[in-house]
Amino acid sequence: MNVGFVAQLLVSGLALGSIYALVALGFTLIFATTRVVNFAQGEFVMLGALVGYSAHVSAGLPLGPAVLVAGLVTVLAGLIAERVAVYPLRALQSSIAWVISTLGLGMMLKSGAAEVWGKVPVAFPAPFGLGRVELFGTAFVPQEAVTVVVAIALMLALEALYRATIFGKAMRAVAYDRDTAKLMGINVSTMSLISFGISAALAAIAGLLVSPITNASPEMGTVLGIKGFAAAAVGGLGTFQGAFLGGILLGVMEVLASGLLWPGFYDVAAFGLLILVLLARPTGLVGARVVVRA
Amino acid sequence: MSLAHSNRVSRRTLAMAATLVLALVVACGPPARSSGAATPKPAEAPAKTEPPKSGPPVSGKLLIGGVTALSGPQATFGEGARMGANLAAKELNTRGGLLARQIEMVYRDDEANPTKAVQVVQELISNQGVKVIIGPINTPNALAVAPAVTEAQVINLQITTGTATVDPKKHPSIFRPQYYAAQEAQLILDYFGRVRGYRKLGILADSTGYGQGGVAELKPRADAFGVQIVAEEKYNPGDADMTGQVGRIINSGADGILAWGLGNDLAQAAKALDKLGSRLQMIGASGITTVGFRQLAGEAGQNHLGTYSRRFSFSDSAPADARSREFVEKLDAEYGPDWSAQTVVSAPWYEAIYLYAEAVNRAGSDEPAKVQQALEGIQGFAGNGIYTTYTFGPELRNGFQQTDLTVVYAAGERHGLYRRPNDAP
């Protein structure tokens, strides 16, 4: 086995995994507060990317303002989604309604975007370049390196928010027992709204970082959503370190499998390993104990 | 707080918010659509090119159905198809039409979806009463509509490349005035195997029917060109990273890559090759020679090759065929110089209308049974000379000549013409 090739696969897997990690962070943030899995998360990533494309490429805004526009639009969509598709349903007895409503929301966003932007993938210019960089015999493009760095930074920031701030404490309280948290004077409704807002912002960042690598299209959210959710689940759905590690593991496994195992078999290999991880550690890699209440 | 109350509130919020989301989605849209060169404006072209409505409709108009994707990811192809067919219909109409009737094109959008294709074909046959349908472009759609056109005994000129779509026994009224996968496989193996002398080749194909159909044409032919397939890699359309697949092909010691997939995915493969510092060349079926590849691969796509119509190709020493350049000028005159559709789609649709007109004139009727017989009798019909010399027969439904297909630089387009390598066969 060629050591250089394996090193190259690891580097590419790290880059791909940090994309999944970024999406997984958004899943985790919402779940950590509301115990809801937002199945429209991938579509928020797509929305951020395409709005960013419209603002930056079509309308010709500089990158900074375009990123701001993409972030604001996606956050607004996230807030509306929470008020429309999630929060009202949580007042009902059914604990499953949000599954359908977030899935449905995702489909609406996808077909809406296909109407608006068309289904043809568009090339998003790479602010950090797509030129080849070589380091210790492995190659990557600057955009990939930036994605890895941003994923790590956001993971650390969210960990800090969750552990060291009063907001984080409130998040944990709401997640642990909503009714008691409410009695303690925590505004549960606002907490849920804020989680969706931040999560949508994370999605927009992910979309803007990913689309120079993968191109932007209404379809991009589907696979990213599934892989991001898988990464979050492997990470334990409760901690940001877990989401990050889950993403990296999935990305590295995929690229290793496609490079070293049978061709076309990489999804089987990657997801097979994820199932093994979950069987061995049902609470996820990082092992935060999660109690899901009906 | 009572449950009933909270429900009422949430319903009102829901209505408001839904409106907001819709407004938002609509508001963000138009600028993106108007700017992307890959997304042409399907709505604008037909208005200009609708045949004049003031013809002498003594015996009514002669309707020609057109079925292709007019929206969605393949709308660029549909746009090119419509440009070509409309131009032909307009030219024929100014010369008095067909059987002294004005031609009217009736298009239906199949959204590149086989189910939808069957629906619109049935609608064209039973509601519009068309006796001929041009299209579809997609192989699965062509397969799906075959029973319907066969049962209704309507002439169908399919512009697809899938090998299995035409069959004189099962579907006698379906003809293909278009090159197809077997011819493409032959050509790209010939170029890498015989011309370049490559002995070891890797295959990179998407996991859909298109890519795997191509693999099925490539593998059995490799031996005949002295080529050994040393790697066979698959990817799913939309895969974000192809380092693994591409890396394996590089490691297999291949001299080149036979690629069978769509342009936007193969652009990712080109980027992966570039990232790994490999100069391995890909040669693809026509799926790579698209606007999507050129735009999404950027610099990384410059070196790669694909199949294209010979008449719309040029080399450093020889310009493109004069009649094809004339055709490009006609497109310019008709649609303005900014059209971005593909000549490899416009040309066969343009010539398909002329081919049909030729058969109708020979038959003296547009009755499908007579037109079918006339089509079967067509030998060496060159039309306007911009695509191929059609030859059909009672047992022959593929009318395109292998020699009219060539190898070009997949990203080497210059206004509808593609640059071919100097040693292209």
Could you tell me the strand order of the sheet in which B155-157 lies?
B103-109, B62-68, B132-134, B155-157, B174-175
Q: Could you give the 3-state DSSP secondary structure of residue B156? A: strand
Q: Nearest CA of chain B to the CA of A204: how many Å?
A: 15
Residue B177 has pLDDT above 80, yes or no: yes
Chain B CB contacts of A220 below 8 Å? 238
Give yes or no for a contact between B179 and B400, defined as CB atoms under 8 angstroms apart.
Answer: yes
In which band, very low, low, confident or very high, does the pLDDT at A158 lie, cut at 50, 70 and 90?
A: very high
In which band, very low, low, confident or very high, does the pLDDT at B302 lie, cut at 50, 70 and 90?
A: very high
∠ CA B277-B281-B286, nearest 5°, is 135
**Residues A91-111, mean pLDDT to the nearest whole number:** 81
Q: Beta partners for B104? A: B63
Print burial letters for B331-345: b (CB count within 10 Å at least 16), e (below 16).
beebbeeebbbbbbb
In which band, very low, low, confident or very high, does the pLDDT at B108 lie, cut at 50, 70 and 90?
A: very high
Chain B CB contacts of A80 below 8 Å? 17, 20-21, 24
Check A254 against B241: CB less than 8 A apart.
yes
pLDDT of A168 reads: 86
CA distances from A81 to A41, A206, B420 (A): 11, 19, 52
Query: Is residue B27 less than 8 Å (CB to CB) from chain A?
Result: no
Lowest-confidence segment of B91-105, B171-185, B331-345, B384-398 by average pLDDT:
B331-345
Give counts: helices (H), strands (E), chain A. Answer: 12, 2
Check B247 against A259: CB less than 8 A apart.
yes
Where is mean pLDDT largest: A262-276, B19-33, B176-190? Answer: B176-190
Mutate to test the interface with A, among B26, B241, B295 (most CBs of A within 10 A): B241
In which band, very low, low, confident or very high, does the pLDDT at B29 lie, cut at 50, 70 and 90?
A: very low
In which band, very low, low, confident or very high, does the pLDDT at A2 lie, cut at 50, 70 and 90?
A: confident
Give yes or no for a contact between A273 and A260, defined as CB atoms under 8 angstroms apart.
Answer: no
pLDDT of A271 reads: 81
Residue B21 has pLDDT above 80, yes or no: no
Check A116 against B248: CB less than 8 A apart.
no
Residue A242 has pLDDT above 60, yes or no: yes
Check B35 against A57: CB less than 8 A apart.
yes
d(CA A232, CA A245): 9
Q: Nearest CA of chain B to the CA of A218: how many Å?
A: 10
Query: Is residue B296 less than 8 Å (CB to CB) from chain A?
Result: yes
pLDDT of B73 reads: 67
Digit-coded pLDDT (tens) for B258-281? 999 988 899 999 999 998 889 999
Q: Nearest CA of chain B to the CA of A280: how many Å?
A: 28
Check B241 against A266: CB less than 8 A apart.
no
Lowest-confidence segment of B4-13, B114-123, B175-184, B201-210 by average pLDDT:
B4-13
Digit-coded pLDDT (tens) for A19-45? 999 999 999 988 888 888 889 999 999
d(CA B304, CA B327): 26
d(CA B173, CA B125): 14
In which band, very low, low, confident or very high, does the pLDDT at A93 lie, cut at 50, 70 and 90?
A: low
**Higher local confidence (pLDDT), A217 or B313:** B313
Q: Could you give the 3-state DSSP secondary structure of residue B341? A: coil
pLDDT of A92 reads: 64
pLDDT of B48 reads: 42
pLDDT of A119 reads: 73
pLDDT of B337 reads: 80
Chain B segment 311-370 residues within 8 A of A by beta carbon are none
Phi, psi of B156 (to 5 degrees): -130, 115
Check B3 against A255: CB less than 8 A apart.
no
d(CA B176, CA B393): 12
- Considering CB atoms only, which of B14, B28, B275 is closest to A141? B275
Q: Which residues contact B53 (CB under 8 A, 6 or more apart)?
A: none
Average pLDDT of chain B is 85
d(CA A174, CA B157): 64
Chain B segment 62-101 residues within 8 A of A by beta carbon are 71-73, 75-76
In which band, very low, low, confident or very high, does the pLDDT at A288 lie, cut at 50, 70 and 90?
A: low
Residue B43 tokens read as 């709505």
Q: Beta partners for B308? A: B406
d(CA A43, CA A103): 10
Lowest-confidence segment of A122-126, B70-74, B223-227, B396-400 by average pLDDT:
B70-74
CA distances from B367 to B129, B130, B372, B374 (A): 12, 11, 9, 11
Q: Could you give the 3-state DSSP secondary structure of residue B399? A: coil
Chain A CB contacts of B6 below 8 Å? 88, 91
Chain B segment 238-277 residues within 8 A of A by beta carbon are 238, 240-245, 247-248, 251, 264, 267-268, 271, 274-277
Give yes or no for a contact between A253 and A227, defined as CB atoms under 8 angstroms apart.
Answer: no
Check B240 against A258: CB less than 8 A apart.
no
Mutate to test the interface with B, among A6, A18, A50, A58 (most CBs of B within 10 A): A58
Q: Nearest CA of chain B to the CA of A187: how many Å?
A: 15
Chain A CB contacts of B17 below 8 Å? 80, 83-84
A to B CB pairs, distance under 8 Å: 164
Amino acid at site A217: S
Among B315, B301, B312, CA closest to B410: B301
In which band, very low, low, confident or very high, does the pLDDT at B10 lie, cut at 50, 70 and 90?
A: very low
d(CA A126, CA B57): 57
